[in-house]
Chain A
Amino acid sequence: MPSPGNNRRFPFFNRLVLPLIVPALILLVWQVLSDRGFLRPSILPSPLAVTRTFQGMAASGDLFSQLKVSLIRVFEGFGIGAALGTLLGLAMGLSPRLDRALTLMTGLLRPIPTIAWIPVLILWMGIDEGSKVTVIAVGAFWPVLLSALQGVRGTDPKYLEVARILEKGRWEALIRVVLPSALPSLFTGLRVGLGIAWASVVGAELIAASSGIGYMIMYAREVSQPDVMLVGIVSIGLTGLLMDFLVVQLERRLLKWNQAGKESQA
């Protein structure tokens, strides 16, 4: 039962054990069904079989070399998309005229799913790295743009009034008041953007690639290795989880001042 006291009384249980119960139950049922012969190994291999394949692929370095290819693509694409999204979002937040000039354009482009761009980008850029990095950049761009815009717009006018009274110029007010106050919102966008970037790379690799974790899954299907496919799927989940964890840690460090609000929300 959710009560505020619970978290304090059993911190270890709540933070580390509780989240593991559901996955553990699923694995247990899955393993038992496999052992009893209800699940065909050629369709759904048992968790133990998948774990053995995982260990083998991790030991040989196969898995990590594929993951590395995908991660490099994500970092390139996310870097470009997030940088452009931040700059344009801040600019639109600061200039209502620019915002108005672009609002129809962004409203039109934003609802297009990232994967819809893949065939078009392959036509324009070929199946090289360029098209994949661009897909990721597009995926990361939108949430970052919107959160940067929202962050700037959400600056409390009372803070800006203080800057005026204290004779601060436009530039100083921007750097010391508007940007810090936009940062929590921007971070939310970066976090969402990174998640979308990771999902986009896998999508792009499933469609056209000769390396990467998405390619690994596609190839395993062609050669009928369901255990390898599942290793790929699980690795995508784990990598995504790890990336999100790192972003949250970074946010905690950079936005120490914002933690009071975060804790009371949680």
Chain B
Amino acid sequence: MKASRGSLKVKGVAKSFALPQGDLRVLERIDLEVGPGEFVALVGKSGCGKSTLLRLIGGLEAATEGEILLREKRITGPGLERGMVFQEPRLFPWMTTRENIAFGLRDSTEKREAGETVEKYLALVGLAGFGDAYPHQLSGGMQQRAALARALVSRPEVLLLDEPFGALDALTRIQMQLEIQRIWRESRGTVLLVTHDIDEAVFLGDRVAVMSEGPGTLRKIIPVPLSRPRDRSSASFVKIRKKIYNEFFNSSRKIKGV
């Protein structure tokens, strides 16, 4: 089988952290396949290990058990083929927006090409004209756009988004969701989005992976067979959202024995 660009496989992954009082298991038996160009949203409560899973795929942490394959090749560390955006923009305050984005380029990139690429990505995220601004001169949403451009500028196969809109106000968040959808459709890369916002997950994902905690496992994967752009108030949208909602709240009611 041909290993296609952006195909991601998580096989039997588990992760424990060593603590003074013993090992803490945060992820257990995670199996997930993400096809090339697919948008998968991971939802779960805080502490369910969804961010840890993303960090494992990003290569920032090593799995205790199992393996993660990108294009059938095992991941052993971070790499430019996997772009990453965090909840906080993490822009370097001593660099301008343009310099921050250029920092995401491969070191071997030729100077003229680098300049053109950075301008292109500045425009792509809607920051044309803000290249010379320092991060502290940008709004939170603009900072996050710059962080996105930095992650995209080396054309990664997979984009890993760790609650990237979590710290933004509600209106900016919706705006950013539309933007990320537009950018994803233009670049056709694979996207893995970690979020605790069910609405966001259903709006963006081709599939929504629901995680439960203690230790984190993949409880269910729910497909979202809706055409885009999606209408958040349509009956089919609301139905899927409710289904995911019930994954979290009905099951806990059962445990309480109601």
Contact = CB atoms under 8 A, between A and B. Distances in A.
Interface string A234-266: 000000000000000000000111101100000
Chain B interface extent, by class: 20 to 34
Contact of B86 (A158, A172, A181): A158
A257 B136 contact: yes
Interface stretch (B9-17, B87-95, B115-123): B87-95
Interface residues of A, number: 21
B136 A162 contact: no
A108 interface: no
B237 interface: no
B85 to A, nearest CB: 10
Nearest to B77: A164
A107 B208 CA distance: 56
A177 B79 contact: no
A167 B60 contact: no
A176 B102 CA distance: 12
A159 to B, nearest CB: 6
A165 interface: yes
A257 B60 contact: no
A100 B90 CA distance: 31
Contact of A162 (B59, B80, B90): B90
Interface in B81-120: 82-84, 86, 88, 90, 92-95, 103-104, 106-107
A161 interface: yes
A158 B90 contact: yes
Contact of A165 (B58, B93, B95, B136): B58
A180 B92 contact: yes
A166 B80 contact: yes
B155 to A, nearest CB: 13
Contacts of B104: 166
A176 B60 contact: no
A162 B93 CA distance: 13
Contact of B93 (A158, A166, A168, A257): A257
Contacts of B130: none
B134 interface: yes
Contacts of A181: 92, 94
B78 interface: yes
Interface of B: 58-60, 77-80, 82-84, 86, 88, 90, 92-95, 103-104, 106-107, 134-137, 150, 154
Interface of A: 158-159, 161-162, 164-168, 172, 176-177, 180-181, 183, 255-258, 260-261
8 contacts: A158-B90, A164-B77, A166-B104, A167-B80, A172-B107, A176-B92, A180-B94, A256-B134
